Amino acid sequence: MNHLLEILLALSLVFNFVLLGSTRIGACVIWMAMQGALYSLVPLIAGEEITPRILVLATAALAMKGGIFPWLLIRLRRRTSFHFEVEPYIGFIASLLVGVCLLAAAATLGQRIHLTAGGYNEGLLTTAFFTILTGLLLITTRRKAVMQVVGYLVLENGIYLFGVGTVVEAPMLVELGVLLDAFVAVFVMSIAVYNLSRKFEVTDVDKLAELKG
């Protein structure tokens, strides 16, 4: 198997745990961006040959995941809140331990599923599942609205990796469309969080439950 890909996947597994253990929103955004950048390089490394199509896709993904998303989020965090802490519902050590359980679940899942088409290897599937689960964990256990966006993007990273590993030849239009969707989602979420913070002066998602229509 491709050794470079293996190292890259192991690195991104570690990034997931760093995301779960980070106490600062800014750090989370940076790690999320680095993970996204790593994943956008996967098609270049894993494929047998580099076609112009792959090159365009990888460049677009790199620009989005490694540049535009983190830039939007850092800007958002700077405007919305004076507190840079993540403020989780469950502690950071507990998050890490839950992460280990999720990793075990992802590994089982990665070994069980046998894909007929594509499928570079089990490690890639395991990493993709684990990244998806990490994104879900971040969304459900973090209090700040900005972290929900980070969690969504981690989830998106995982889905992207799953797509790269399983779908051999998706039309370029579809893949670029998915990237554009994610971009619009982040854009809309930033505006929503920004307006929330302007209106209510908090971005704590706990407070959202108290809103009445």
Partner 1 sequence: MALISSILVPASGLVLAPLLVAVINRVKARIAGRQGPPLVQPYRDLAKLLGKGAVYSTTTTWLFRAGPVVSLATALAALLIVPLGGVAAPVHFTGDLVAVAGLFGLGRFLTVVAALDTGSPFEGMGASREVTFAALVEPALFLALASIVATTRMGSLSSAYGAVDAALWSAAAPTLGLVAATLLVVYLVENSRIPVDDPTTHLELTMIHEVMVLDHSGVDLAFIEYGAALKLWLLGMLLVGLVVPVRTANPWLDGAAVIAGLAGLAMVVGLIESTMARLRMNNVPALIVGGGVLAAVAFVVGLNP
Query: Which residues here bind partner 1, judged by CB under 8 A?
Result: 1, 3, 6-7, 9-11, 13-14, 17, 21, 92-93, 96-97, 99-100, 103-104, 107, 110-111, 122-123, 126
Query: Looking at beta carbons only, is 11 or 56 nearer to partner 1?
Result: 11
Q: What is the smallest separation between the CB atom of 120 and partner 1, expressed in angstroms? A: 13
> 127, exposed or middle or buried, with CB in 10 Å at 0-12, 13-18, 19+?
buried
> 126, exposed or middle or buried, with CB in 10 Å at 0-12, 13-18, 19+?
buried
Q: Please name which of 48, 63, 36 lies closest in space to residue 152, comparing C-alpha atoms.
A: 36
Query: Looking at beta carbons only, is 110 or 151 nearer to partner 1?
Result: 110
Q: What is the 3-state secondary structure (H, E, C) of 132-184?
A: HHHHHHHHHHECEHHHHHHHHHHHHHHHHHHHHHHCCCCCHHHHHHHHHHHHH
Query: Looking at beta carbons only, is 96 or 191 nearer to partner 1?
Result: 96
* Residue 204: strand pairing partners: 144
Q: Measured between alpha carbons, how far is 71 from 29 in angstroms, rounded to an integer?
A: 9
Query: Looking at beta carbons only, is 21 or 47 nearer to partner 1?
Result: 21
* Residue 144: strand pairing partners: 204
Q: What is the smallest separation between the CB atom of 133 and partner 1, expressed in angstroms? A: 13
Residues 39 and 11: beta-carbon distance below 8 Å: no
Q: What is the smallest separation between the CB atom of 101 and partner 1, expressed in angstroms? A: 10
Q: Measured between alpha carbons, how far is 63 from 73 in angstroms, rounded to an integer?
A: 14
Q: What is the smallest separation between the CB atom of 152 and partner 1, expressed in angstroms? A: 23
Q: Measured between alpha carbons, how far is 133 from 154 in angstroms, rounded to an integer?
A: 9
Query: Looking at beta carbons only, is 56 or 104 nearer to partner 1?
Result: 104
Q: What is the smallest separation between the CB atom of 86 and partner 1, expressed in angstroms? A: 13
Query: Looking at beta carbons only, is 66 or 123 nearer to partner 1?
Result: 123
Q: What is the smallest separation between the CB atom of 124 and partner 1, expressed in angstroms? A: 10
